[in-house]
Structure 1
Amino acid sequence: MIATDDIPRRYDPALAERVRHGIGQMPGSGGVHSCVGFLAQKLAQIQGSARPQLEKPQLVVFAADHGIVARTASVYQADVATLRVRNILAGNTVASMFARRNGLALTLIDCGLRADFEPHLQLVRIKMARGTLDSSRGAAMTVGQCRAAIERGTRLVTRLPGNVLLLGETGMGNEAAALLMSRLTGVPVADCAGFGNVGQARELAVLQGALDLHVGISNPVAALTALGGLEIAALVGAVLQAARQRRVIVVGGFVTTAAVAVAAKLAPALLECCVFSHGSQANGHARWLQLLGAEPLFDAAVCTSESCNAVLAWPLLKSAEQLLSAVAEAQ
């Protein structure tokens, strides 16, 4: 069993009223219904303080390969995770640039990539397999692999400094995320996955085949084992631990949302710690956020990468922190 009884609800109505009143006294703030006001309320509740402080923010990008991609993507797309990881480590991506300019520490986590990489200061290896198996032909992971990935994600967060965790993902995890969304919510997989014009019918048939093969599975960890990915499992552990430590959790996109949704099935209160950067209309992401009762900061993705979308939430978080600091100084 995965222990989650140490993640209680933390909502404090008295603190919420204090923050609401204080922000309302600031001319031009827009009150708690503005984007920054909403975030100010969120930060106050996460830290249990009317003057929260954001310290040593960590952008953590999880990466792994997926066996099902061999049946749903081209040869080039199947190898895209390796290329993206190399670009991130070289500092050549927009997310890398934004992280540097905003003072965010960036760590890339190899949760299960097929390729090996030279040692790098920003690379952490926690993989126990070179990608998952094809979930349309069997379980993506063994129970042991899934639980090990969750545990390693948990331990990873305990070693990270700071109290803000910005979550990103790189690779080809959208299929696994769509499968998990369909299984956990009952939404047809065609409405969960974002299809291109080429290969749409083939991809849908493969995804539906995976769901049909694992039709009797509803437990969230069992669904993760059968249909998910090693990086999603590690993200589940990371999210659970971050919530235990009352960190602000910034969720960058569809795949990271899949991990939060699985974790929330185990500990619903952790959603109080989460800030969702956006709700993409390209797949089932926006609908999933609605089902989770989550309000994204942006209506659509600002960048194409989850890591970049997570980073772009950071200036708004800082603005919310500064607003509450100004409120405290004015009182």
Structure 2
Amino acid sequence: MYRTDTASMPSSFLLPVISSTHDATLSAALTAAINNKTKPLGSLGMLETLARQIGLIQQTVQPNIVAPALIVCAGDHGVVEENISAYPQSVTWQMVENFLAGGAAINVFARQNHCALYIVDAGVNHDFGVREGLLDRKVAYGTRNFAQEAAMTAEQCALAMQHGAELLAGVQGNVVGFGEMGIGNTTAAAAIMHVMTQLPVAECVGAGTGLAPEGVLHKQRVIEAAVTRHAAESMEPLEVLATFGGFEIAMIAGAMLAAAERRMVLLIDGFIVTSALLVAARLQPAILDYCVFAHCSDEQGHRQMLAYLNVQPVLQMGLRLGEGTGSVLALPLLHASVNFLHEMATFDSAAVSNKGA
């Protein structure tokens, strides 16, 4: 049954407790293990950084990657009424059908990288019925138009986050990425970004699915007017999420928090997923210890988000598709970062002179 009213909905989301991964003793042991491999110091660059980070997350000098998974949440946005997208809202449910049929880019890349794929209806404006491969967590048939009123109630936002946290029960591995689908969600993400970072709206807004410059300017004006309407400067993070977000964004934020509580590696995709992280990180700053930023999106706001968080992406490929594609494409590098720790010879074992020691 779809929850389209607030009856029996949780009034708040029980925030998971996330521990920092900082451990000076373990960090030193990981650094020693990395430096003792048959290579010049630091010569594997970001792979060494990833190996150390994953070791700290997993609390071991022998980290591994087990059964990676990607959760793709789909939801519709009432703000499409403001003509802020180059595509009609119906594309959301049509793309969900494409995911279920195995024909989208994320299906291709997930198969290629042996990554389990979970497709979630967080709040699509469509009746799918009972479908194999679709997890029905629909909170409502899309959010309301945040240009006129809050996108969702506090109760709906809490329910979406709770659903997201509960999704982790079905994930068996130790790495999870997040993807999304929702026409209008770059507008929601830009609004969240602006309020959370206080960066100018013009620096947060991009072309999304392919808007012309005049369309981007219109999107910017819609967000500016909505922020003024909601007096967003004084909002707490969950208020920002409920006012401007989408059910898929809230669900991803809840899933991220639960995954970090389980000490999983979090693969962070592009603009929309990082907007969910902005909220999650304001609630629990230690979540950033668990995040690997898969790539820098070609959506201009994403570059600003990464700079704001002071983090470095693994890939720079000009991607702006969403769906979690960047996260899955970064998986081979995660495997490489732990494999060299397991399989690469040490100076002693290979009888190689360690002149850099």
TM-score, length basis structure 1? 0.94
Structure 1 269/177 Cα, relative in aligned 2: closer, same or farther at 3 Å?
A: same
Partner of 1:100: 111
Structure 1 11/96 Cα, relative in aligned 2: closer, same or farther at 3 Å?
A: same
Partner of 1:183: 195
Partner of 2:355: none
1:219 partnered with 2:236: yes
- Matched residue of 1:250: which SS? strand
Partner of 1:166: 177
Partner of 1:46: 57
Distance of 1:278 and 1:133 partners within structure 2:
31
Q: Please, which runs of 5 or more residues in structure 2 have no aligned partner?
A: 1-11, 350-357
Distance of 1:209 and 1:328 partners within structure 2:
60
Distance of 2:155 and 2:59 partners within structure 1:
36
Distance of 1:75 and 1:288 partners within structure 2:
23
Distance of 2:345 and 2:239 partners within structure 1:
47
- Matched residue of 1:116: which SS? coil
Letter of the 2:35 partner, please give it: G
Distance of 1:5 and 1:108 partners within structure 2:
23
TM-score, length basis structure 2? 0.87
Residue of structure 2 aligned with 1:151, choices 146, 157, 162:
162
1:311 partnered with 2:324: no
1:7 partnered with 2:24: no
- Matched residue of 1:52: which SS? coil
Runs of 4+ in 1 over 6 A off after TM superposition: 328-331
Where do residues 262-281 of structure 1 align in structure 2 (5 Å cutoff)?
262-281=279-298
Distance of 1:303 and 1:70 partners within structure 2:
23
Partner of 2:274: 257
Residue of structure 1 aligned with 2:151, choices 111, 118, 140:
140
Structure 1 256/137 Cα, relative in aligned 2: closer, same or farther at 3 Å?
A: same
Distance of 1:97 and 1:151 partners within structure 2:
29
- Matched residue of 2:33: which SS? helix
| Equivalent residues of 1:24, 1:32 under 8 A apart | no
Say which is worse superposed, 294-303 or 222-231, in terms of deviation. 294-303
- Matched residue of 1:37: which SS? helix
| Equivalent residues of 1:67, 1:135 under 8 A apart | yes
In our comparison, the structure showing a higher alpha carbon Rg is: 2
Distance of 2:271 and 2:100 partners within structure 1:
22
Where do residues 72-87 of structure 1 align in structure 2 (5 Å cutoff)?
72-73=83-84, 76-87=87-98
Letter of the 2:197 partner, please give it: T
| Equivalent residues of 2:192, 2:275 under 8 A apart | yes
Structure 1 16/255 Cα, relative in aligned 2: closer, same or farther at 3 Å?
A: same
Letter of the 1:248 partner, please give it: V
Say which is worse superposed, 106-115 or 317-326, in terms of deviation. 317-326
1:109 partnered with 2:120: yes
Letter of the 1:192 partner, please give it: C
Distance of 2:106 and 2:174 partners within structure 1:
20
Distance of 2:129 and 2:16 partners within structure 1:
39
Say which is worse superposed, 156-165 or 139-148, in terms of deviation. 156-165
1:194 partnered with 2:206: yes
Structure 1 202/280 Cα, relative in aligned 2: closer, same or farther at 3 Å?
A: same
Displacement of 1:199 in angstroms is: 1.9
Where do residues 289-308 of structure 1 align in structure 2 (5 Å cutoff)?
289-302=306-319, 304-308=321-325
Provide the aligned length of Structure 1 versus Structure 2.
Answer: 331
Displacement of 1:33 in angstroms is: 6.4
Letter of the 1:165 partner, please give it: V
Letter of the 2:158 partner, please give it: R
- Matched residue of 1:109: which SS? strand
Partner of 1:235: 252
Partner of 1:284: 301
Displacement of 1:3 in angstroms is: 4.2
Structure 1 310/25 Cα, relative in aligned 2: closer, same or farther at 3 Å?
A: same
| Equivalent residues of 1:22, 1:327 under 8 A apart | no
| Equivalent residues of 1:166, 1:251 under 8 A apart | yes
| Equivalent residues of 2:299, 2:320 under 8 A apart | no
Distance of 1:303 and 1:218 partners within structure 2:
29
The sequence identity of aligned pairs, in percent, is 34
